[in-house]
Amino acid sequence: MTGSTTDVSIVPGLFGADPLEYGRAVGDVSRTDADLLHLDVMDGVFVPDISFGLKAVKSVRKAFDRRLDVHLQVTRPESHIDGLAEAGVDLVSVHVESTPHIARLLRDLEKSGIAAGIALNPGTPLSSVEEIAHLVEQVVVMAVNPGTSDFLPYTVDKIRRLRADLDARGLGHIRIAADGGVTAERAAALRAAGADRLVVASALFQDPAGVESAFRSLGAIAAGA
């Protein structure tokens, strides 16, 4: 895993970088030991923002030689799977709110050779993943409402309850990713609650100390070092 500990990963979220500096930002991440780079694919419908399209994903794929983690925040996510598979994406997380056929979509990801994740908006109950959690590598718990930056403290307890449920069901190997508003001040609490992947965007790419230094610092803080 990444970061400065063996049990928590700092996952850079490229959307937090200056859009004029995306290429340099990917290079900065490559100089860390991050094993995942997180790309938010947004369509302006499911969430207000529009972000990386397939062409951008392919370009990042060429520039980054480790795993690409795509967070699909789109309507009709099934229409994106073939293109993402062709682009060489490694992990795709799909919102349970975005499709009535989440189990079928997870199966399609498996058939395409892509590891699957499921994502939950803050107001979506944990019960919505109960029947499908065993099919995925990770569950992404949004700590903000998508398209906003306001951290919602109650999501920390949501992560805690999810971790307890997964462990009780013998699914402790499934990763929990906290996404949205993750900062140095919140990292330790999120990890203590059971998140073992912390998706860090603005707090990483806008740190005056630079990406490499911020990455090391966040990993140490999350680990309680």
- From the candidates 28, 40, 43, 196, which is the catalytic residue? 40
* 40 catalytically annotated: yes
The one catalytic residue in 28, 90, 108, 179 is: 179
Q: List all residues 6 or more positions away from 151 whose beta carbon is below 8 Å from its beta carbon.
A: 143, 144, 180, 181, 183, 186
Active site residue 179: yes
Measured CA to CA in angstroms, residue 118 lies from 20, 29, 44, 158, 207 at distances of 30, 24, 20, 15, 29
Contact 204, 11 (CB under 8 A): no
Length, in residues, of the chain: 225
Distance CA 158, CA 149 (A): 18
50's tokens: 């529009």
**Encoded tokens for 65:** 């030689």
Number of C-beta neighbours around residue 62 at 10 A: 10
Closest CA to 13 of 160, 166, 179: 179
**95 membership: H or E segment, kind and range:** strand 91-95
Phi/psi for 99 (5° steps) reads -155, 140
Catalytic residues: 40, 179
